[in-house]
């Protein structure tokens, strides 16, 4: 769980850095956006289960976020062309989405929640930070209008719940679940897979 949490923290801190640079925020603004992207979902999750957020007494996440932002600045990632920057954002955001989907589901299993509870905690952990990030920079939250995103979190959480019921949760199955979830997310994005939406006039169409 700690490894997946670290992966998610690095990935979301970097995605926050990318958004901050694109929005031309100052250094403090970039740090705030990166911080809230990386820990926002976890804080909401912990509040839902009446637990003091881990980040309030464990410095690991803060250190990881600070190092990620510093290294991103040090290697001048902000000087890449917009196309490369967008690809880096998608990859980082996808890594964070799947990693935090797993850690959120694990918390639900630890509290012996039912399937809905496990999926809900997974979903909130995975997308909560991104929603906070987008709202802070005055964007429509990514999950509300962009491709096959939140659905990946639901699938990952559902699969982990099923694996737990079958007593098949171990390091190998968690790693496989992570790889499968990441593959689904990236293939869905690059293949432009989208959920249908309700169009004006009562019809439906691809989103």
Angle between helices 2-22 and 60-74 (to 10 degrees): 40
Residue 204 covered by a domain = no
State residue 39's pLDDT score: 94
Q: What pLDDT, in 10s, does the model give residues 38-85?
A: 999 999 999 999 999 988 988 999 999 999 999 988 887 766 666 677
Residue 144 covered by a domain = yes
Structural domains in the chain (count):
1
Q: What pLDDT, in 10s, does the model give residues 7-40?
A: 889 989 998 898 888 888 998 999 999 999 999 9
The answer to whether the CB of 91 falls within 8 A of the CB of 14 is: no
Residue 31 covered by a domain = yes
Domain that holds residue 37: 2-195
Residue 109 covered by a domain = yes
Residue 177 covered by a domain = yes
Residue 205 covered by a domain = no
- 3-class DSSP assignment, residue 24: coil
C-alpha of 68 from chain center: 16
Residue 56 covered by a domain = yes
Q: What is the pTM of this model?
A: 0.86
Residue 206 covered by a domain = no
Q: What pLDDT, in 10s, does the model give residues 120-129?
A: 999 999 999 9
Query: 100: number of CA atoms within 13 Å, CB side?
Result: 34
């Amino acid at each position: 769980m700690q490894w997946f949490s670290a992966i998610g923290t690095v990935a979301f801190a970097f995605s926050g850095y990318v958004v901050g640079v694109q929005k031309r925020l100052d250094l403090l603004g970039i740090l705030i956006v990166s911080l809230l992207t990386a820990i926002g979902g976890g804080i909401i999750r912990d509040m839902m289960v009446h637990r003091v957020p881990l980040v309030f007494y464990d410095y690991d996440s803060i250190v990881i976020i600070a190092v990620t932002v510093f290294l991103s600045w040090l290697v001048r990632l902000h000087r890449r062309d917009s196309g490369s920057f967008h690809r880096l954002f998608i990859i980082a955001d996808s890594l964070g989405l799947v990693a935090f989907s797993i850690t959120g589901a694990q918390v639900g299993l630890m509290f012996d929640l039912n399937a809905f509870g496990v999926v809900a905690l997974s979903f909130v952990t995975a997308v909560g930070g991104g929603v906070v990030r987008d709202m802070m920079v005055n964007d429509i939250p990514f999950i509300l209008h962009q491709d096959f995103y939140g659905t990946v979190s639901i699938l990952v959480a559902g699969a982990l719940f099923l694996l737990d019921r079958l007593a098949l949760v171990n390091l190998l199955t968690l790693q496989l679940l992570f790889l499968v979830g990441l593959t689904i997310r990236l293939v869905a994005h690059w293949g432009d897979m989208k959920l249908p939406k309700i169009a004006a006039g009562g019809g439906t169409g691809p989103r």
